[in-house]
Amino acid sequence: MFQDKNVTVVVPAYNEEQTIAEVVREFAGEPSVDRVIVVDNNCKDRTAELAREAGAEVIEESRAGYGCAIRAGLDHGEATGADILAITEADGSFRADDLPKLLHYLTDCRMVLGTRTTRQMVEQGANMNKLLRWGNVTMAKWLELLWYLPHEPRLTDVGCSYRALWSDTWRQMREGTRETGPQFSPEMICEAYRRGLRVIEIPVHYGARLGGESKHSASFLKVARTALGMFRTICRKRFLG
């Protein structure tokens, strides 16, 4: 619990058997966390089994895609009594002990975003080289420019999935989101601004994956494809709604 509010952590997962148990145990062990939900997004390995053994509630989402998995987890958490919803990764690159920071800032806004672009908080071996870091900053500044009036946002990393939001914030935003892949992350931000909701970004630690390979940034081609998709999503949300 956090200030008498139920906190549920959502972990989208696709073939993360090497890391999922440790991630579940770490977040479940954070005193403010009441429940960890792992979304089995068509896993072909032992991800779901190991997540349950570690103490997570596992739900299935058959529609493939990062956005689909997160949406399913948020929907389930909101429908089953969560007051606050947090999102993290199944690869172990984010720390549970950063979650209290997100929660404390959440008392002043509707959604808190992490950023991985603070160089001093990017750990050795993390998947955040100079190209990726500045690519994330550039995309964030593009979103800032498009939404500068009336919100004057301050963003440096629209692709960081470590974030927390109120359950009723998700209820307001849900119908305005449709992206199935990693574009879902900036789409959430744009939808929050479209609805006049206050968003704050804070630095979080970003470490090396505990195992496996990134689904969206393991190669230059994947990075370019993800960046182009995010650019299109941000433009669509600003100009087409």
pLDDT digits (tens, 9 = 90+) for 138-164: 999 999 999 999 989 999 999 999 999
Q: What is the CA radius of gyration of the chain?
A: 16
pLDDT of 42 above 60: yes
β-partners of residue 36 are: 9
Q: Model confidence over 111-130: pLDDT tens digits? A: 999 999 888 888 767 777 87
Lowest pLDDT segment from 7-21, 97-111, 128-142, 182-196? 128-142
pLDDT of residue 118: 87
Residue 1 covered by a domain? no
Task: Give residue 214's pLDDT band: very low, low, confident or very high (50, 70, 90).
Answer: low
Task: Give residue 211's pLDDT band: very low, low, confident or very high (50, 70, 90).
Answer: low
Query: For the whole model, what pTM was predicted?
Result: 0.93
Range of the domain at 109: 7-239
Q: At what angle do helices 184-194 and 66-79 cross, to 10 degrees?
A: 50
β-partners of residue 163 are: 87, 113
pLDDT of 216 above 70: no
Q: Model confidence over 54-78: pLDDT tens digits? A: 999 999 999 999 999 999 999 999 9
Average pLDDT, the chain: 93
Q: Specify whether the CB–CB gap between 6 and 36 falls below 8 A.
A: no
Residue 13 covered by a domain? yes
β-partners of residue 111 are: 165, 199
Domain at 104, CATH number: 3.90.550.10
Question: CA separation (Å) from 151 to 111, 128, 143, 195?
Answer: 14, 28, 11, 11
Give the chain's domain count. 1
Tokens of 194: 């479209």
Lowest pLDDT segment from 15-19, 165-169, 211-215? 211-215
Give the integer Cα–Cα distance in Å for 218 and 214. 5
Residue 2 covered by a domain? no
Task: Give residue 134's pLDDT band: very low, low, confident or very high (50, 70, 90).
Answer: confident
Give the integer Cα–Cα distance in Å for 110 and 167. 9
